[in-house]
Amino acid sequence: MTHNPENNGRGGLTRRGLVAGLPLFLAACNSGARPDPLAVRPEMPAMDIPARYVSMYGPMPNEQFPVPRIDLRQIDPRYWRREVPDPTGEAPGTIIVDTSGPFLYHVQTGGRAMRYGVGVGRQGFEWAGRATIQDKKPWPTWTPPASMIERQPELEKYRNGQDPGLDNPLGARALYLFQNGRDTLYRIHGTNEPWSIGKSMSSGCIRLLNQDIIHLYDNTTIGTPVLVKQGNTGWA
């Protein structure tokens, strides 16, 4: 497939996504140096967390690598998973990423959508366009490209891949986006940095809480269409 940087239509990457995002996007979803979670935790007021969310984001001990519970005080409640009226107008089954939300919508039948809070690419790492999920993996291996290792020599030890696990930047699941049969190098994946949800700090990929990516993964099939939208949609 030849990416046309002038193609801003429904089927391709935006000029900015291709020219700016894709070369830098080869950083392959790592956010770089990990911040101190206490330093970036939102100052959330004391609240009574509904029991359904406590359960939704509770521990998952039966996973290959047991997933710990999420401290929901780290995350604005609007980014907790919930079913909402579908604002997108896309066909049921479609995944839409609204980077201005930032939210991911998985369109359901009956005019509804499952909405997930996400973390998105920081400035210079944005991507937009239509793609298809052509592969999906539980507990994936993360392999930083040579260009990233050159910028961050400490990643040399992962040149042949970082083993799956709770420290892996792709988290518990990954959905691989392709265009016309070719890998875009763009991923929808889990994260072990829950405080990053709602922020623009990744190297291009869309990250969800591990509990949320597992839920999305279980409800997504190969061939699912994906649309990533930059700019203010007005949906939030």
**What does DSSP assign to residue 136?**
E
CB 159 within 8 A of CB 231: no
For 153-190, give one letter per residue: b (16+ CB within 10 A) or e: eebeebeeebebeeebbbbbbbbbbbbeeeebbbbbbb
Q: Exposed (0-12), middle (13-18) or buried (19+): which is 104, by Cβ within 10 Å?
A: buried
Report the candidate in 208, 126, 137, 218 with the shortest Cα–Cα distance to residue 176. Answer: 137
Q: How far apart are the C-alpha atoms of 118 and 189, rounded to whole Å? A: 10
Q: Are strands 129-138 and 182-191 parallel, antiparallel or unpaired?
A: unpaired
213, two tokens: 């990516």
Q: Are strands 173-179 and 182-191 parallel, antiparallel or unpaired?
A: antiparallel
Q: Active-site positions?
A: 189, 205
Q: How far apart are the C-alpha atoms of 188 and 146, rounded to whole Å? A: 21
Contacts for 3 with CB less than 8 Å, ≥ 6 apart:
12, 13, 18, 22, 179
Q: How far apart are the C-alpha atoms of 34 and 116, rounded to whole Å? A: 23
